[in-house]
Amino acid sequence: MLALGLLLGFVGAGGSGFIISILTVVFGYPIHTALGTALAAMFFSSFSGSISHYREGNMKLRPGVVVGLTGAAGAWISSGWSSLIPENQLGYLTSGMLFASGFALWFRMAYVSRRPKASEDMEASSVRGWHFWVNAPLVGFITGSLSGLFGIGSTPFIQLGLMLLLGMSMRYAAGTTMLVIMPIALAGGAGYFTIGYLDVQLLAAVVVGTMTGAYIGAKFTKRVPAAWLKTCMVLTPMLGGAILLF
The pLDDT score that the predictor gives to residue 77 is 93
User: How far is residue 58's CA from residue 159's CA, in Å, rounded to a whole number?
Assistant: 13
Segment 50-56 shows an average pLDDT of: 80
Better pLDDT: 224 or 69: 69
Q: What is the pLDDT of residues 173-217, one digit of tens each?
A: 878 888 898 999 999 999 999 988 989 999 999 999 988 887 787
Q: What pLDDT sits at residue 121? A: 46
Say if residue 72 is exposed, middle or buried (CB neighbours under 10 Å; 0-12, 13-18, 19+). Answer: buried
The predicted-structure confidence for 83-106, as pLDDT tens digits, reads as follows: 888 988 898 999 999 899 888 888
160 Cβ partners below 8 Å, 6+ apart? 104, 107, 108, 112
Residue 150 has pLDDT above 50, yes or no: yes
> Does the pLDDT at position 62 exceed 60?
yes
Closest alpha carbon to 45 in 218, 234, 207, 187:
207
Question: What's the number of CA atoms in the CB half-sphere (13 Å) around residue 46?
Answer: 29
- Residue 12 confidence (pLDDT): 60
> What is the per-residue burial (b if ≥16 Cβ within 10 Å, else e) of 180-218?
bbbbbbbbbbbbbbeeebbbeebbeebbebbbebbeebb
Which residues, including other chains, have CB under 8 Å from residue 53's CB and lie 6 or more apart? 59, 174, 175, 176, 178, 179
pLDDT for the residue 190: 93
